[in-house]
Amino acid sequence: MDINSPLYLRTNNDKSSCGDISDMYLLVDRSAQAGFHLIQFTPIQDTVNPSPFMGISLFSFNPIFLDTRSLGIERRLRHNRPNIVDYRGSVRQKRQILKRLYESQHPDIKIPLYDRQIVAYAVFKVLKNRFKRAWVNWPGIFSSGDVDRILAKHQGLYERVKFELFIQDIMAKQWKDLANYARKKGIRFVMDKPIYPIYDSAEVWANQGLFYLNPDGTLKCESGCDNPRDPFGRQKWGHAVFRFKEKPEEVVAYYIESIRHLVSISPVVRFDHALALSWKYYLIDKKTDKGRHIEALKSCFFGPVRKAFPDVLFVADDLGHSSKKIDKLLRDHGVFGIRCLQWVHTTRHREIEKYPRLSIAATSTHDTDSLGAWWKKLSHDERRVYFKKMTISRRLRCKKIRISLDQMTKETISLMFNSRSQIATVGLRDLLGDLRRYNNPGHKNRTNWRIRSTVLIGEMDFSFIESIIKNSKRN
């Protein structure tokens, strides 16, 4: 069982709460008591904006999750909108807290002892704060991405680089402490791995040969999606894209390195947009805005990754396809695919009773509506597809759909948890009856990825999901 949550959680009415790691301990306790075994988070990497998929390094941890309480520091940050997080304000304040802590402790940071990609991230952060523009426009040697040479010629950067490494040390320890606590409770975290970094990132800057760039370093091709089965239509994301076709071995080696960073927290990893790894990846020419599909690496990717991590549970976000070849590819490598009933237009997702064992049955994802909001949008015929499968339908022996949102939510979750899928997942919004969206793909607005839970964790009612877990024998 899996409970997933990109929500900014809180255990008290502190309006400055924004997903602090300390708040997650109680979520672990409540989840373990209900019978869950997995908790899925959206990516926890450092980002330029609230979207967890707009990361500047897969080897980083976002300071917005800093647990200030364990550091013995009280903080107060006013939010104009109590249920919406002030992302930049929160990050800025937490970095200030860490700066004071760093200056008081004078930690002995030895840069050569850190992983190259983590050092690259730290140097990038320092230079980004210094030049205030995209790395391609940095002067002289700084745009080269040659971290060792830059540090050798500009030793004045050392103290600020050490501060960035200090932040990462603190965040890594807090995440590992939380993961160890969860493990003792029988809970593992699902670590979400974005497929691409943004162009103006430490990853692209320090590894320019791995991405589709022009000779002058500008972005040649950007990421996106154009899958005819995807209800969100053609999307342009703007990330830099790995040169899978031209440098397969180097790209896979890099992926393995970044996966190793994630499994230091938990041995469960979810590949975002896995179709680019198992089917085709989509390239959009930056100049013409025209896109083209290129064959994915498939077994050339999953084979080496599985060999490198034989004990890791891998999940592939394969929503948006109906190919038996992709199903077989994932099955051959022991990778879980996803079935989500909200894709009612597709037989493979609509027929819950036929879900394969090696799959995850999901009530919702971070890109979909909550169950309640989804149900409201369904046509009468679409509702009937699921209503006739529900216990209440058989009990009432009627053809007319008479069901409240609360009943629908419980009945639908029960359907998913009684499927053949080895793992069943429920969104925290679905448990809370929260109709808001985490994210509306392809639409820019002020609430995407910024919603704070309106219910305190201690006041969340897990009794009905605990009953469903027991009745479905998933405990």
Query: Phi, psi (5° rounding) for residue 39?
Result: -130, 120
Rounded to the nearest 10 degrees, how much is the dihedral formed by the CA atoms of 127, 128, 133, 138?
A: 20
pLDDT attached to residue 109: 95
Q: Which of 290, 345, 294 is nearest to 320 (CA)?
A: 345
| Alpha-carbon span 136 to 125, nearest angstrom | 14
Cα–Cα distances in angstroms (integers) from residue 357 to residues 305, 337, 364, 419, in the given order:
22, 10, 19, 9
Cα-based torsion angle of the residue sequence 248, 253, 257, 260 in order, rounded to the nearest 10 degrees: 100
pLDDT confidence of residue 385:
78
List of residues 6+ apart from 363 with CB closer than 8 A: 340, 341, 342, 371, 412, 413, 416, 425, 426, 427, 430
Give the 3-state secondary structure of residue 191.
Answer: strand
pTM assigned to the model = 0.92
Token pair, residue 198, equals 């943004």
* Distance between CA atoms of residues 353 and 103, nearest Å: 59
CA distance 194 to 191: 10
Please report, in tens digits, the pLDDT of each residue of the chain (475 residues total).
445 555 677 777 666 667 789 889 999 999 999 999 999 999 999 999 888 999 999 999 999 999 988 887 766 555 557 788 888 888 998 999 999 999 999 999 999 999 999 999 999 999 999 999 999 999 999 999 999 999 999 999 999 999 999 999 999 999 999 999 999 999 999 999 999 999 999 999 999 999 999 999 999 999 988 876 666 667 888 899 999 999 999 999 999 999 999 999 999 999 999 999 999 999 999 999 999 999 999 999 999 999 999 999 999 998 877 688 999 999 999 999 999 988 877 888 888 999 999 999 999 988 889 999 998 888 888 888 787 777 655 554 555 666 788 888 898 999 999 999 999 999 999 988 889 888 887 666 667 888 888 888 888 889 999 999 999 988 7
Identify the pLDDT of residue 344.
74
Task: Return the closest-CA partner of residue 40 out of 225, 315, 379.
Answer: 315
CA-to-CA distance for 43 and 262, rounded, in angstroms? 10
Amino acid present at 403 = I
| Amino acid letter, residue 413 | I
Q: What's the fold here for domain 2-45+181-471?
A: TIM Barrel (3.20.20)
R_g of the chain, CA atoms, integer Å: 23
Alpha helices in 56-144 (DSSP H): 87-105, 116-131
Rounded-to-integer distance, Cα 155 and Cα 150, Å: 8
> CA 315, CA 360: separation in Å to the nearest integer?
8
Tell me the Ramachandran region of residue 36: left when phi exceeds 0, alpha when psi lies from -120 to 50, beta otherwise. beta
Residue written as tokens 């500009």? 154
